[in-house]
Chains A and B, each alone.
Chain A
Amino acid sequence: MTPAVGPQTGSGARLGPETATPVEAAIADARARSRAYGAFAQFFEYPDDARAAHIRSGALAADLVDALAALDVVGTTATDIEVLSEAGAPGTMAIEFTRLFEAGAGGASLHGSAYGASGMKDMEEVMRFYRHFGLALAETPRELPDHLATELEFLHFLAFREAGTLAAGADAGPWQRAQRDFVVRHPGRWVPQLRRRVERRQPMRLHAVLLARLEALLAQAPARCGGVTGNPASPTSASV
């Protein structure tokens, strides 16, 4: 991944307190989160041949692991790059993706509405988040707004805007609070359930590690986004 705007961060390595101002550290943190969410979003897209090849090349894994390391995400190790590049033979990942996440019956859906008590209400709130921040669903793929890749893309967008706003010296509070609330009420709430369902289906190592890292990232997100204030109370989590 390329360096951020502003003070050089080299390859994205974490800026220690002895080298960065609080604002610089905050910018670097937001950038890392944006990179991480963006990379995660790509991992949760259907792995057609081109995407699977890109995963197999290791570039996406390297980008993600670099960002996770910069964020001190629990469990991140150097071996994650190798695991997150294990796309298998051509077609393997696509078959596995469909087995785990699609094709209905018995799968572990990538849609958040499958995990809450509130179904469409959760999806509606997701859509309100997007609208509030000036976004709409793209014409393709025609999928519902609570797909994990979409929600991660939204977080990628929010963190990107946070970084840019901080760099401009403006108040990044709205971007941070939105990330906090969105994570707590949406993917942070249901990704742990997704991970448990996937575990029961004996997934490829790639997906097991991916979901573990994502869960850890989401768990720390509220604290990194200015702490938990107000009432981000999430709907009751359904038992898995």
Chain B
Amino acid sequence: MSDSTHGLSRRRFLAGAGIVGAGALGLTLYRLRERAPGTAWEPAQATPVQPVQYGDFTDLWRERWTWDRVAKGTHTRANCIAACSWNVYVKDGIVWREEQNAVYEPPRPDVPDGNPRGCQKGACYSDLQASASRLLYPLVRVGERGSGQWQRISWDEALTRVADAVIDTAVEHGTESVVFDHGTTNSGYGPESSGEVRFTEAVQTTVIDSWAGVGDMPMGAVQSWGMYNCEGTSDDWFRSDYIVVWIGNPASTRIPEVHFMHEARYRGAKLVVISPDYNATCVHADLWLNLRPESDAALGMAAAQVIVEENLHDADYVREQTDLPFLVREDDGRYLREADLRPGGRDDALYVWDEVEQRLAVAPGCQGDGEGGRSLALGALRPALAGRYTVQDRNGRPLVVRPVFERLRERLAAHAPEKVAAATGLAPALVRRFARELAAAPAAMIFASWGACKHHHSDLFQRTMILLMALTGNQGKPGGGVRVAAWWGLDGLSRLTTHGQPGVRDLLRVLPKALRGLTPRDYEQLYTEHSQKTPVVPLMPFLYVHGGYRELWSRPDLIDPALPRTMADYMRESIDRGWIEMHPPEDRSPRMLIFTGSNPLRRWPAPQHALRHLWPKLGLIVSVNFRMSESTRHADIVLPAAGYYEKYGIKYAQSYLPYLVLSDQAVKPLGESKSEWEIFGLLAERIAQRARERRIGEVRGYRDRPLDLARAYEVYTSDGRYDPHDAGDPLKLIDDILRDSPSVGGVTAGQALAMGAVPIVGPARPGPEYQTSSDYDPQDTCWPHRWFVDDKVAWPTLSGRQQFYIDHPWYLEADEALPRHKDPPGAGSRYPLRINGGHTRWSIHAIWRDHELMLRLQRGEPVCFLNPADCRPRGIDDNDRVRIFNDTGGFQALVKVAVGVQPGEVIVYHAWEPFQFPGGKGCQEPVEAPWKPLHLAGGYAHLHYRMYYGAPSHSPRGTPVEVQRIGAHA
């Protein structure tokens, strides 16, 4: 380590040692400097030129500060489901405070405005950015992994070590053995995320897709809609008449938005909360349905049964927008297909029975309708919802078919409120009241966001929620429908990647379709093709194959007993058929891991398995982070990332707010931290340099195709267009992004950064996850799915409809072709209690979780909430310390006795870092998170995997445990 690395010159160092000549007392200033050299004080002069005035410390406070600068900032890589612009106050190169930048205009006079936006976490980010958990210097591990023994190294040495490790891995095993996990925290629309995207593309590392891996994949929406993005602006909630919060807690997790729900009540809307426990959102509810945990599908189906039985459903909407009129064969339970009726017939042409013409008709909008499956408009067609019909198959034999709706009626009958009362714990009269109110409301919505994705059978829950909205005609109406999440697109986001704009060949290939207008199915095909060009792998299968979780997830008690085959069977078939492509290939191992912001050892299920089985495979683990997370503690090299106010960025544009929020570089990065744009650029450069110096030829890249790592930097910089060495380079990228994005009205980077929040003024091209599926009107609130409901565009499903019948062979054998209630695998566990919970109010995942300002607002250390009925027999008092455990693992926490918790639940709000627990064992230790093998299914139109779509969802909720008192809190 050279002195110059820390700016400590030899001369000043020796002067500080006192060798300055006889008779003089040395003044050594290293960290401080004179503000005006040569005037007030001279270092060599003992006596100040001018006398100083100082009475006591109050003198300091009389000197008013004027700010050097007020920048516009946000928290780009905090993965909070919001976007809030802040005024960031800078003095002497430090951010001292931030205030909400209240600039948002309501689109119409009859909805409240969205100001202010910004939660208590954002309001103290300046404190977090300056906290002790910051990483300021590159570090190399010198003890055992996790021992906390580190040594600073220079950036030069760190980059060379990492680059050589990448090259060594690539030479010996191929670049797919370098695994990159960017998690879901650390996503942005700007240079702060482009760095890692470009790096992974330049080096062709395996990229872990953690969307489903963190339990954020609404598989029920994927199964029903062929998409999951479903939301508009949050002010649209104000227009709802019946707001159902179902498995969610927006009072804690949608802090800038939830007021629209509360304000809607002033115009007569009702707020209904469906939750086992009385959570913060229940405080404002008009009706609280405290169902038993994981009985949500039972409740949904029961409500649907009431609606259908009492003829409260919107039959016209159902005929047009759903597959409920589609005909299903009685013999094998599959849709009737053209291939069934004539040789050479299409397998994706599906049928309805036309009541007008009394004959079969190919359903408009299904994938094989002969018109490209573009429109579901029925015209004169009137599909039957009832009846039993006999047709002739291709061999002349009779085939009996019925509409899905008939089958649904039968399924619903088994879920009548009385029949599921034991499962739900709800009085049938209450369920009927809920169903009738829902159906009668002019506009009813169901808020069911990421929390509704984290149970084993969450897909069934969501399918029933979507069914309710479809039966009542609410999906696609203002203030109506299931609402999950969506983002505004930016056409310029292609600049984040090295692929950039589509090439001529790409454009020519889609031109015929583009001339008619690309449909959501067409876009989905493009996204899928793009995904297939990269070594992306969903997290759960990766952990199953490479992470050491095979044995755990193959346990019979963690599998749905209704499945006729084992997890291994389903995984094998999925890989063999190419539905899930494993990276690195099964016959190789991951050898190196690079993660940014992701915190695998905090949030992966039972992370001790990863430490035991995956970590030893990894020759080098690199963390790029701004704080010392649990996972970073177990890394080998740490590359310090700049804080949010220390780099340029664009917050991912959550659709709640019709603005694009940007972050200026308010101050320079602390210590030697760097922006991710610069870090990954330098790393790509070093890899290229070392490849040349070491005379490394081509290595095996993606799918073992030859890859020249000596070109890594050229690829990263788009052949020299960008220069990560240039401090202004990120602005150039932002300029490129905005210039290519007409939806933000042609602002420049400078203008946008000065504004902080730039209005969305028009639509953007749909992206892999960025769509509301509605045209945008800046003079109105935005709600989702208008393309399908108003414009009759076909949904991107096999049927071209909201699809409630899935005749994939796996779903048929699991008896989930139609939604239904199923007990979770853990229902029969000998462990009597269940861990449930939600996102904490006091952090954004693990960021802020250990921050003192937030800890002071709660009990300050990990705590679980238990009902008194569960505490009494266990001898547990409030604030006792307990152990929460099962056969897989356990952790300790304090207890908060809470009557609002349903008996049987152990509520643990998420994201405590394991190092905050005694013994370093965090709350994921007992979480087996059994996931559904059905989510591996592919080869079925909208049931497929591609990056950020589909894949098995991490299901941590409902883990069976026991709780044992350890003692009183010391």
Residues of A within 8 A of B (CB): 1-5, 31, 34-35, 38, 41-42, 45-46, 48-51, 54, 59-60, 63, 91, 94-95, 98-99, 102-107, 109, 111, 113-114, 119-120, 123-125, 127-145, 147, 149-150, 153-154, 156-157, 160-161, 163-165, 167-168, 170-171, 173-175, 177-178, 181, 185, 229-232, 238
Which residues of chain B from 179 to 201 have a CB within 8 Å of any chain A CB? none
Partner of A160, one of B18, B27, B852: B27
- Which residue from A111, A132, A164 sits with its C-beta under 8 Å from B60? A132
CB distance from A109 to the nearest CB of B (A): 3
- 11 A-B pairs, CB-CB below 8 angstroms? A34-B27, A50-B1, A54-B17, A59-B18, A60-B17, A105-B850, A131-B92, A147-B31, A161-B48, A173-B54, A185-B57
**B853 A119 Cβ-Cβ under 8 A:** yes
The residue from B131, B670, B853 contacting A143, defined by CB atoms under 8 A apart: B670
Does B389 belong to the interface (CB within 8 Å)? no
The 3 closest A-B pairs by CB, nearest first: A104-B628, A164-B46, A109-B132
Closest to B3 in A: A50
Q: Is B97 an interface residue (CB 8 A)?
A: yes
Q: In the assembly, what is the distance between CA of A173 and CA of B5, in Å?
A: 39
B36 contact set on A, CB distance < 8 A: 134
Report if B779 contacts A (CB, 8 A).
no
The closest CB in chain A to the CB of B48 belongs to A161
Interface residues of B in 120-140 (CB under 8 A from A): 126-127, 130-137, 139
Task: Evaluate contact between B53 and A174: CB separation under 8 angstroms.
Answer: yes
> Quick one: closest B residue to A54, CB to CB?
B17
| Contact, CB under 8 Å: B132 / A111 | yes
Chain B residues numbered 52-88 whose CB sits less than 8 Å from any CB in chain A: 52-61, 63
Q: Which residues of B contact A48 (CB under 8 A)?
A: 1-3, 5-6, 152
Contact between chains at B151 and A91 (CB < 8 Å): yes
- Is there contact, CB below 8 Å, between B628 and A103? yes
Please indicate the chain A residues that have their CB under 8 angstroms from the CB of B358 in the complex: none
Give A123 to B96 CA distance when docked, in angstroms: 9
Q: Is the CB of B668 within 8 A of A142?
A: yes
Q: Which of A60, A138, A171, A178 contacts B51 (CB 8 A)?
A: A171
**B132 & A5 in contact (Cβ 8 Å cutoff):** no
Contact of A3 among B8, B22, B130 (CB under 8 A): B22
Contacts A134-B36, A135-B33, A144-B94 given: A168-B24 contact, CB under 8 Å? no
Q: Among residues 126 to 179 in chain B, which have CB atoms less than 8 Å away from a CB atom of chain A? A: 126-127, 130-137, 139, 142-143, 148-152
Report if B767 contacts A (CB, 8 A): no
Given contact pairs A5-B23, A103-B139, A46 touches B915 in the complex (Cβ within 8 A): no
Determine the distance from Cα of A131 to Cα of B135 in the docked complex, in whole angstroms: 27
Given contacts A103-B148, A120-B130, A150-B32, contact A5 B92 (CB under 8 A): no
Cα(A185)–Cα(B134), bound, Å: 24
**Which A residues lie within 8 Å of B46 (CB)?**
5, 160-161, 163-164, 167-168
A134 to chain B, nearest CB (A): 5
Provide the residues of chain A in CB contact with B787, threshold 8 Å.
none
Interface SS of chain B = loop
Q: Does B45 contact A (CB under 8 A)?
A: yes
A35-B25, A139-B7 known; A42+B16 contact, CB < 8 A: yes
* Tally of chain B residues near chain A (CB < 8 A): 87
Can you name 10 extra interface pairs (CB under 8 A) apart from A48-B152, A59-B17, A98-B149?
A41-B28, A45-B8, A98-B151, A105-B148, A113-B130, A125-B57, A132-B59, A138-B30, A141-B31, A144-B130
Contacts of B630 in A (CB 8 A): 105
B669 part of interface (Cβ distance < 8 Å): yes
The verdict on A140 contacting B6 (CB below 8 Å), with A50-B13, A95-B149 known, is: yes
Verify B23–A3 contact, CB threshold 8 A.
yes
Distance in angstroms from A136 CB to nearest chain B CB is 5
Q: Are B60 and A129 in contact (CB under 8 A)?
A: yes
B136 to chain A, nearest CB (A): 7
Give chain B residues whose Cβ lies under 8 Å from the Cβ of A113. 127, 130-131
Cα distance, A49 to B40, chains bound together (Å): 35
Could you tell me the distance in whole angstroms from the C-beta of B628 to the nearest C-beta in chain A? 3
B35 close to A (CB within 8 Å): yes
Please tell me if the beta carbons of A31 and B25 are within 8 angstroms of each other in the complex: yes
Complex contacts, A145 vs chain B, CB 8 Å: 92, 94
Q: Which residue of B lies closest to A234 (CB)?
A: B57
A232-B56 contact, Cβ under 8 Å, with A31-B25, A103-B135: yes
In whole angstroms, how far apart are the Cα atoms of A170 and B630 in the complex? 55
Q: Tell me the B residues contacting A by CB distance below 8 Å.
A: 1-3, 5-8, 10, 13, 16-18, 20-36, 40-41, 45-48, 51-61, 63, 91-94, 96-97, 126-127, 130-137, 139, 142-143, 148-152, 627-630, 633, 638, 668-672, 850, 852-853, 913, 915
Q: How far is the CA of A107 from the CA of B628 in the complex (A)?
A: 10
Residues of A within 8 A of B151 (CB): 91, 94-95, 98
Q: Which A residue's beta carbon lies closest to that of B143?
A: A95
Residue of B nearest to A108 (CB): B132
Contacts A134-B35, A134-B36, A144-B670; A105 near B628 (Cβ below 8 A): yes
A168 to B152 alpha-carbon distance, docked (Å): 44
Residue ID in chain B nearest A151 by CB atoms? B31
A32 to B: closest C-beta gap in Å: 10
Q: A95's contact among B26, B55, B59, B150, by CB below 8 Å, is which?
A: B150
Choose from B30, B131, B149 the contact partner of A45 (Cβ within 8 Å): B30
CA distance A41 to B46 in the complex (A): 20
Contact indicator B24/A138 (Cβ below 8 Å): no
Given the complex of chains A and B, what is the CA–CA distance between A147 and B853 in angstroms?
20
Q: Which residue of A lies closest to B31 (CB)?
A: A150
The answer to whether B148 and A134 have CB atoms under 8 Å apart is no
Q: How many angstroms between the C-alpha atoms of A156 and B133 in the bound complex? A: 28
Given contacts A104-B627, A128-B61, A164-B47, contact A99 B148 (CB under 8 A): yes
B31 near A170 with CB under 8 A, answer: no
User: Are B94 and A2 in contact, CB atoms less than 8 angstroms apart?
Assistant: no
User: Which A residues touch B97, using CB under 8 A?
Assistant: 120
* Distance A54 CA – B93 CA, assembled complex (angstroms): 32
Chain A nearest CB from B727 CB (Å) reads 14
User: Chain A residues with Cβ under 8 A from B17's Cβ?
Assistant: 54, 59-60, 63
A105/B133 contact (C-beta < 8 A), A1-B18, A38-B28 known: yes
Q: Are B41 and A123 in contact (CB under 8 A)?
A: no
| Contact across chains for B32 and A135 when beta carbons are under 8 A apart | yes
Whether the Cβ atoms of B29 and A157 lie closer than 8 Å is yes
Whether the pair A124, B96 counts as a contact (CB closer than 8 A) is: yes
Is the CB–CB distance between B670 and A105 below 8 Å?
no
Which A residues lie within 8 Å of B127 (CB)? 113, 119-120
Interfacial chain B residues near A5, Cβ < 8 Å:
23-25, 46
Q: Give complex CA distance A135, B51 in Å.
A: 15
Whether A137 lies near B56 (C-beta < 8 A) is no
B126's partner among A104, A120, A143, A163 (CB-CB below 8 A) is A120
Residues from chain B with a CB closer than 8 A to the CB of A163 are 25, 46
Q: Are A174 and B52 in touch, CB under 8 angstroms?
A: yes
Q: How far is the CA of A177 from the CA of B54 in the complex (A)?
A: 7
Within 8 Å CB of B41, what residues of A? 134, 161
Chain B contacts for A114, CB-based, 8 A: 131-132
Q: In the assembled complex, how far is the CB of residue A102 from the closest CB belonging to chain B, in whole angstroms?
A: 8
Question: How distant is A190 from chain B, measured CB to nearest CB, in Å?
Answer: 12
Which residues of the other chain, A, contact B7 by a CB distance below 8 angstroms? 138-141
Partner of A138, one of B1, B29, B59, B131: B29
From B8, B58, B135, residue with most partner A Cβ within 10 Å = B8
A residues in contact with B94, CB < 8 Å: 123, 127, 144-145
Give CA–CA (A132, B94) in the complex, Å: 17
What's the nearest-Cβ distance from chain B to residue A203, in Å? 13
Assess the B31–A98 pair: CB atoms within 8 A: no
Residues of B contacting A120 in the complex (Cβ-Cβ under 8 angstroms): 96-97, 126-127, 130
A168 and B1: CB pair below 8 A? Answer: no
